[in-house]
Amino acid sequence: MSDGPILRAEDLDHSFGDVEVIDDVSVGVEAGDVTAIVGPNGSGKTTLLRLLAGLLTPTAGSVAYLGPDAEREIGYLPQRPTFRPGFTVYETIAFYEALVGDEPGDLLEQVGLADAANRRVEALSGGMTRLLGVAQATVGDPPVIVLDEPGSGLDPGMRRRTFEVVRDLASGGTGVLLSSHDLELVERTADRVLVLDRGAVVADGSPEQLIEEYAVDSIWDVFEAAITGSAETVDVVGVPR
């Protein structure tokens, strides 16, 4: 735990045209913490992560990086990471490391991809591509890392391994912000959970606090209790229920 947030967002709104996707969200990311954003499909998780990573300009509100000076302040894993074809896994990660002036290190080992170093990126499975994306997000040791569904498409073992990597990063002082639908791993890994519903934060706290507050047994139960839409249909922001 640190003395204060290293990334702080205040009163964030974001609209795409007339559709308000993020509504008055404030969040701080602490160094050494894993902050998980959970919510149904279309609830605004990816938009919120892109706002926090500085890739979108909010319609209202502000995002401020308050961490230490760094060559790369925020690392980012997009929801569907894709890499330039024709290059090997090693060449790809070496390219990103060169951008921050680093020599190729052990990032591939860290995510379990060392044996695939000489494989071309277009020959990787979806899960392996995501692992390469996780490695890319950590290039340059950014104080904040934003991961959009890092476990998506991975087998249970690799998903758990990815969350262990996330936990290791946080143990080293990195502030990690991630979105995930794997509520069991979120409960096990996250220091703080934000439940997002229709662009607004409807629950916020540590897993233990939320479970106690909602008087339930798990984060999955918190999720069910906190969201207002049906679990059987996609809740489309901008369309009245």
Partner 1 sequence: MSGRRAARVIFGRELASVARSRTYLLLFVGVAAVIVGIATVGGGTEAGYVPTAVDLLLPLELLVPVVAFGIGYRSIADDVQREELEVLNTYPVPDWAYVGGVYAGRAVAVVTTLAVPLLVVGVLIWLSAGPDTTIVATHRGIDSPVLFGRFISLTLGYALMVLAVVLALSALASSRKVALTLAVVGVGGIVVGLDLLVLRGVGAEWIASDTLVTALAASPASAFRGLVFETVLYVAFDAETGYASPIANAFSLVSWTLIGLSAAAVGVSRR
The reply on whether position 175 binds partner 1 by CB under 8 A is: no
Q: Is residue 26 a contact point for partner 1 (CB under 8 A)?
A: no
| Contact with partner 1 (CB under 8 A) among 65, 83, 214, 223 | 83
Structure token digits, residue 147: 């991961």
Task: Name the region of 216 (left: φ>0; alpha: ψ -120 to 50; beta: rest).
Answer: beta
What value does the CA radius of gyration of the chain take, rounded to a whole number of Å? 18
Q: What angle do CA 154, 192, 50 make, to 5 degrees?
A: 65
Tally of residues, the chain:
241
Choose one: 26-34, 132-140, 149-157, 174-182; the region binding partner 1 (CB under 8 A). Answer: 132-140
User: In the bound complex, what is the minimum distance in angstroms from residue 146's beta carbon to partner 1?
Assistant: 8
Site string for partner 1, 60-79 (x = CB under 8 A): -----------xxxxxx-x-
Count CB-CB contacts under 10 A for residue 144.
Answer: 26
Indicate whether 96 belongs to the interface with partner 1 (CB under 8 A).
yes
Q: Does 95 bind partner 1 (CB under 8 A)?
A: yes
Binding mask 44-63 for partner 1 (x = CB under 8 A): ------x--xxx--------
Tokens standing for residue 124: 């990787």
DSSP secondary structure letters along 80-123: S----TTSBHHHHHHHHHHHTTPPP-SHHHHTT-GGGTTSBGGG
58 or 207: whose CB is closer to partner 1?
58
Asked if 86 interacts with partner 1 (CB under 8 A), we say yes
Cβ proximity to partner 1, 84 vs 230, nearer residue: 84
In whole angstroms, the minimum distance from the beta carbon of 139 to partner 1 comes to 8
Q: Is 95 buried (19+), middle (13-18) or exposed (0-12) by CB count in 10 A?
A: middle
Distance CA 173, CA 27 (A): 18
Cα gap 206→203, rounded to integer Å: 10
Which listed residue (5, 42, 67, 142) binds partner 1 by CB under 8 A?
Answer: 142
Measured from the CB of residue 82, what is the shortest distance to partner 1 in angstroms? 4
Q: 77: which strand partners?
A: 147
The one segment of 4-12, 40-48, 94-102, 199-207 that binds partner 1 by CB under 8 A: 94-102
Judged by the rule CB under 8 A, the positions of this chain that interact with partner 1 are: 50, 53-55, 71-76, 78, 80-84, 86-87, 91, 95-96, 98-101, 136, 139-140, 142
